[in-house]
Chains A and B, each alone.
Chain A
């Protein structure tokens, strides 16, 4: 059970469908791990249903239903049924909510073709899979015990821990935790000692390394 969650506003924006695709990826990933947030999103979905019931209906075209029926009936006879690729049960990270990246990763997390950033940090870029301007999305792997150089964020950064954990100046985080950081935070995460830390990071602006590590900026642009 994770201890750090998206705030209520973020969950509401997710349920309402008004957050961006990269943000929704971070929330969806957290939901894989967190029963409480799944439950809350479910409640917030009910809110959507309740609002749909109380909305003032708009008038629709009189023949819209017949047109729809005609198209449905012609399609139902000819169109092949769309078959969705179902993940195998063993791949499902958690019941009731499937890892949203499952169908898009070439292999398991452990065997991904990680791109080496430094000796202890590597990444697997997902920016093109999400393809939303202004966002950088990646899986990051930090070796057990390794430290990410001190950095700040120009925009915001969402991190969801997929395995292992890390600590920074503000806390200790474990599998499933959802961590939101913005420009006011300066931190240097350190992976926990016992295992490599893999996390999903969603950034809406490049990181800025501070101190001596600023020489890393061009290389660690996370893009």
Chain B
């Protein structure tokens, strides 16, 4: 059974690359049982969004990199 610390690793990873099926499954299972980790997951997503807003105000989805 995956513990919270390991779950946060997957939550973080999820912001950087798509999770594998196995990873998704075990994360979802853990989140379904753990309220604290559900909050952490929201917080990581909020950090991701905050990062985007910190720079140029991206209006649409991704990534106008000024080329």
Partners in one complex: no
Instruction: Tell me the B residues contacting A by CB distance below 8 Å.
Output: none
